[in-house]
């Protein structure tokens, strides 16, 4: 396959270093790295890597938010969530993020991780159709679940996210502002237990 570049996003410097060394020792070029959501969005837009490996929780947002914002601004980038969540939560997160798939932080299979990165660079979905449909169905059910304690707008946004809509598409569909949609996405993720109390202002 033709050469491709990787961008690594993690607030953990040792994790970034370990991933970079793993990639480079396997002949993969690392174009850059970022420690925060804001830094990552700025650099990914500038560098336009083939694959972005994005940690699930960052100091100023979430990997899901970064992935969604990347899809809005640099849709050619294939995003992989780097997560410590269990499989069900990781699958749901990948769907919400619009990501190619996910890889586990605690993975000990270096060859498998490199293989996943290469597959993502080729455009191969790492989350199979059955898993993607199952996660989407679960998220759609959650959007109407009373335990979620979400507002009507948050429920609508979650339902649209479960269908794979980007922030820009949700903005057009709902006729809300881009900033309001970004805030609703952050609030939904927090209530689902896969977000942070800090919100990221998306640059669209």
**Confidence class for position 171, pLDDT limits 50, 70, 90:** very high
Neighbours of 68 (CB within 10 A): 27
- pLDDT of 176 above 60: yes
Q: In the structure, what pLDDT confidence band is assigned to residue 75 with cuts at 50, 70 and 90?
A: confident
What does the pLDDT read at residue 199?
44
Q: Are residues 167 and 111 in the same domain?
A: no
Q: Which of 93, 126, 159 is a domain's end point? A: 126
CA distance 25 to 19: 10
Return all residues near 165 (Cβ < 8 A) that are at least 6 apart: 173
User: Model pTM?
Assistant: 0.90
CB atoms within 10 A of CB 108: 7
Looking at the 3D structure of the chain, how many domains does it have? 2
In the prediction, which pLDDT does 1 show? 60
- 204 confidence band (pLDDT: 50, 70, 90): very low
Residues 118 and 141 both lie in one domain: no
Which pLDDT band, with edges at 50, 70 and 90, does 110 fall under?
confident
Contact between 60 and 198 under an 8 Å Cβ cutoff? The reply is yes
Neighbours of 124 (CB within 10 A): 12
Residue 151 lies in a domain: yes
Please check whether residues 147 and 104 belong to one and the same domain: no
The residue among 126, 144, 166 that closes a domain is: 126
> 201 in a domain, yes or no?
no
Q: Could you list the residue range(s) of the whole structural domain that residue 115 is in?
A: 5-126
* The pLDDT of residue 106 is above 90: no
141 in the same domain as 99: no
């Amino acid at each position: 396959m033709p050469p491709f570049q990787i961008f690594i996003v993690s607030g953990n410097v040792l994790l970034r270093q370990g991933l970079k060394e793993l990639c480079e020792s396997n002949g993969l070029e690392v174009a850059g790295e970022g420690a925060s959501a804001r830094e990552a969005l700025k650099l990914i837009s500038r560098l336009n890597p083939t694959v972005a490996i994005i940690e699930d929780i960052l100091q100023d947002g979430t990997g899901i938010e970064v992935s969604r914002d990347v899809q809005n601004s640099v849709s050619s980038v294939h995003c992989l969530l780097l997560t410590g969540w269990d499989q069900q939560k990781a699958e749901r997160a990948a769907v919400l993020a619009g990501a190619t798939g996910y890889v586990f932080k605690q993975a000990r299979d270096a060859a498998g991780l490199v293989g996943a990165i290469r597959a993502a660079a080729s455009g191969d979905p790492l989350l199979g159709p059955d898993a993607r449909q199952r996660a989407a169905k679960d998220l759609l059910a959650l959007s109407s679940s009373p335990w979620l304690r979400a507002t009507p707008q948050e429920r609508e946004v979650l339902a649209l996210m479960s269908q794979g809509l980007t922030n820009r598409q949700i903005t057009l569909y709902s006729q809300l502002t881009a900033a309001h949609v970004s805030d609703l996405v952050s609030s939904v993720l927090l209530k689902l237990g896969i977000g942070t109390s800090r919100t990221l202002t998306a640059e669209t």
